[in-house]
Amino acid sequence: MINWGIIGCGKVTELKSGPAFNKVENSRLVAVMRRNRELAEDYARRHNVPKVYSSAEALIGDREVNAVYVATPPGSHREYALKALQAGKPVYIEKPMALNYRECEEINEASVKYNLPVYVAYYRRTLPGFLKIKSLIESGEIGKPRFAVFHIFNFQSEDEKAGRLPWRVMPEISGAGHFFDLASHQLDYLDFLFGPVREISSLAINQGGLYKAEDFVSASFLFDKNIAATGIWSFSAPREANRDTFEVIGEKGLIKTSTFTYDPIILTNGDGTKEYVNERPENIQFYLIEQIVKALSGGPDKVVSTGITAARTSRVMDEVVKKYYETNEIRK
What are the structural domains, with CATH classification, of the chain?
Answer: 2-124+285-303 (3.40.50.720), 126-281+313-327 (3.30.360.10)
Q: What residues does 250 pair with on adjacent strands? A: 145
> What span, in angstroms and rounded, lies between the C-alpha atoms of 266 and 277?
9
Contacts of 307 (CB under 8 A, 6+ apart): 93, 97, 104, 107, 108, 111, 117, 118, 119, 120
Do 6 and 52 contact (CB within 8 A), yes or no? no
Nearest to 4 by CA among 41, 31, 24: 31
DSSP single-letter state for residue 94:
P
DSSP single-letter state for residue 98:
S
Q: What are phi and psi of 135, to 5 degrees?
A: -65, -40
DSSP single-letter state for residue 15:
I
| Each residue's pLDDT expressed in tens, for the chain with a length of 332 residues | 999 999 999 999 999 999 999 999 999 999 999 999 999 999 999 999 999 999 999 999 999 999 999 999 999 999 999 999 999 999 999 999 999 999 999 999 999 999 999 999 999 999 999 999 999 999 999 999 999 999 999 999 999 999 999 999 999 999 999 999 999 999 999 999 999 999 999 999 999 999 999 999 999 999 999 999 999 999 999 999 999 999 999 999 999 999 999 999 999 999 999 999 999 999 999 999 999 999 999 988 899 999 999 999 999 999 999 999 999 988 76
H or E element in which residue 53 lies: strand 51-53
Do 253 and 142 contact (CB within 8 A), yes or no? yes
> What span, in angstroms and rounded, lies between the C-alpha atoms of 298 and 283?
24
Do 168 and 177 contact (CB within 8 A), yes or no? yes
> What span, in angstroms and rounded, lies between the C-alpha atoms of 295 and 302?
7
